Amino acid sequence: MAQLIFITGGVRSGKSRFAEKRAASLRPTSGTLHYLACGQPSDIEMQKRIARHQHDRASANVPWETVECATDIGSVASSLNENAVVLLDCVTTLLSNELFQKENWQDELFQQQTKQKIQHDIEKLNERSEALIIVSNELGYEPLSGLVDVYARQLGELHQWIVSKADEAYVVENGIPQRMKGEGV
């Protein structure tokens, strides 16, 4: 079974950078690095954010292959090389893309199905790859209600599931990764 690594943290905490370094260090000499980007460039700020991440990867001296994939990440699995290292960035955008693409996010069955679909897609990717690195964001620690509560519940349950499967799990704060699970680097 392929390695599974979970990396989370606040915005601008340096979690993507850490994830990219960890991915590069796991790459077999002949292997490909796949960057699975779930973000959609919905406004100028988002475009800049994506451009900055692209620039970071381009200048990293490592052969990244970017795949834009806002939903259905499992569909990428079949096109992966045998010993690929895959970086999924990130669960939060993937979940909101999947959960809010239609109007039925309030339907509890749909919420469950969405979570299960993402779990299934992650398993598919993990089976095909040498290592799968999953990036996500820390949840809010505040009173929750309505749409945010629905989203937080699915995200929290997904995180619990990923951490339980993961070989390593980290929280990155101020650029410093704190290992929560596994032997680490």
Partner 1 sequence: MHFVTGGAYNGKTKWVKNFYGLTEDHCWKSAYDQTKIPLNVSRFYGDVVVLEGVEQWLKGLTAESGLEECRAIWQSLLGIWRTWESERHERTVVIIGTDITKGIVPMEKEDRDWRDLTGWAYQDLAAVADRVDVIWYGLNQQLK
Q: How far is the CB of 35 from partner 1 (least distance, A)?
A: 24
3-state SS of 47-92 is HHHHHHHHHHHHCCCCCEEEEECCCCHHHHHHHCCCCCEEEEECHH
The partner residues of 35 in beta bridges, in order of sequence, read 66, 87
- Site for partner 1 (CB under 8 A): which residue of 31, 137, 144, 167? 144
Q: Which two tokens stand for residue 65?
A: 């292959």
- Site for partner 1 (CB under 8 A): which residue of 63, 140, 175, 184? 140
Within 10 Å of residue 130's Cβ, how many Cβ atoms? 18
Q: What DSSP string describes 5-22?
A: EEEEESTTSSHHHHHHHH
> Applying CB under 8 A, which part among 17-25, 31-39, 80-88, 157-165 lies near partner 1?
157-165
Comparison of 70 and 163: residue with beta carbon closer to partner 1: 163
- Site for partner 1 (CB under 8 A): which residue of 160, 175, 184, 185? 160
Binding site residues, partner 1, CB under 8 A: 138-144, 149, 152-153, 155-157, 159-160, 162-164, 169, 171, 180-181
